[in-house]
Copies of this chain bind each other. A is one copy, B any other.
Amino acid sequence: VPLPEKALIEEVRRFARSRSTGNVRLGIGDDCAIIGIPPRHEALVTTDFSLEGVHFRRQWHPPESVGHRCLARGLSDIAAMGGTPIAAFLSLALPARLPQSWVDRFIKGLLSLAKRYSVALAGGDTAQSPAGVLADIIVMGSVPKGTAVIRSGARPGNAIYVTGALGGSAATLNLLRTKRKVVPSETDRHFYPRPRLEVGRYLREKHIATAMIDLSDGLSTDLAHICDESSVGAEVEMPRLPLASAGKPPTSVSVDLALHGGEDYELLFTAPAKTRVPSVISGVPITRIGTITKVRGLFTRDASRRTPLLVRGWEHFRRT
């Protein structure tokens, strides 16, 4: 077999063994993994593709970043439910001519993030890819029964909040697109997004969030998801938007990127108007950006001007 399957499996097994926790009863190497769900908890499951040419490019993204982003996508979904991740499963198809060092660095990036959140890599599948690196990450977590924060709980009058700052990932992507040299920094949310697991858990435990989603497709698209599922509308106050900084010297990103740029992996949530929401949770700034309305539709407000907010879907690298 020309594929580094065996080496990969061995490498992953070694890690899985050393990291296996009480909840992973059986990891890689059988027909299924066996995962214990804590008593009176429910399981959370999310799956996310990371496809070369669609979600990343090998010329742009170092292998460690590809591995990190791959797992971060799944962890961010767990964060958006207020859950705790338990185990990840990686289905990975590799082209025959891929250097072994690329695979090693990819796994290193993925496992390094897994370790930070005590997530075990408990299984997956490997195959030879017909075209490019194809990864599918599955993350399983848990949450106390009936307490997950879902998308459909937003109510008219609720305040709308976001964590961190918006548009930073898209700004870096724009730099990559214009072929300017970008040094992938550990602190750049495009290359190394940090899933907001602690914040998500806090918002659930303190019964603050009525609805929550992670910002993977961009604020306009993800806010539309919450509004659709909750049968409500929303008004975003433009001056309140926390704009990310990017470039050297750092300057604020455009409002357009903050509204429509994807892959920031911040959390967007709603809370009753009277609920006291801390301005910082686990070191992450929390900003109120608007209000849920009874009238359907999305709007932005800038001083006295009210404008319909166009929902622009995030298409990753598809059309670049």
Contacts of A150 in B (CB 8 A): 26, 30
Name 10 extra pairs, CB < 8 A, besides A32-B44, A45-B138, A47-B136: A29-B229, A31-B80, A32-B46, A36-B42, A36-B145, A37-B42, A45-B140, A51-B127, A55-B127, A125-B136
The 10 closest A-B pairs by CB, nearest first: A131-B131, A31-B80, A136-B136, A32-B44, A31-B77, A35-B43, A32-B46, A53-B130, A91-B136, A49-B127
**A239 on the B face (CB < 8 A):** no
Contacts of A25 in B (CB 8 A): 42
Question: What are 17 residue pairs bridging A and B, where the CB atoms are less than 8 Å apart in the complex?
Answer: A1-B313, A30-B150, A31-B77, A31-B78, A31-B80, A31-B212, A34-B42, A34-B143, A34-B148, A36-B43, A36-B145, A52-B130, A54-B128, A55-B127, A125-B136, A128-B318, A131-B132
Question: Residue of B at shortest CB range from A53?
Answer: B130
Instruction: Indicate if the CB atoms of A32 and B77 lie closer than 8 Å.
Output: yes
Interface set of A (CB-CB < 8 Å, partner B): 1, 25-26, 29-37, 39, 42-49, 51-55, 76-78, 80-81, 83, 87, 89, 91, 93, 122-125, 127-132, 134, 136, 138, 140-141, 143, 145, 148, 150-152, 212-214, 229, 313, 315, 318
Residue from A32, A89, A91, A148 with most neighbouring chain B CB atoms (10 Å) = A32
Residue from A39, A87, A91, A136 with most neighbouring chain B CB atoms (10 Å) = A136
**Complex CA distance for A141 and B45, rounded to whole angstroms:** 12
Instruction: Indicate if the CB atoms of B51 and A93 lie closer than 8 Å.
Output: yes
- Copies of this protein in the complex: 2
Q: How far, in Å, is A171 (CB) from chain B's closest CB?
A: 23
Contacts of A30 in B (CB 8 A): 81, 150-152, 229
**Complex CA distance for A83 and B26, rounded to whole angstroms:** 14
**Complex CA distance for A54 and B77, rounded to whole angstroms:** 30
Contacts of A55 in B (CB 8 A): 127
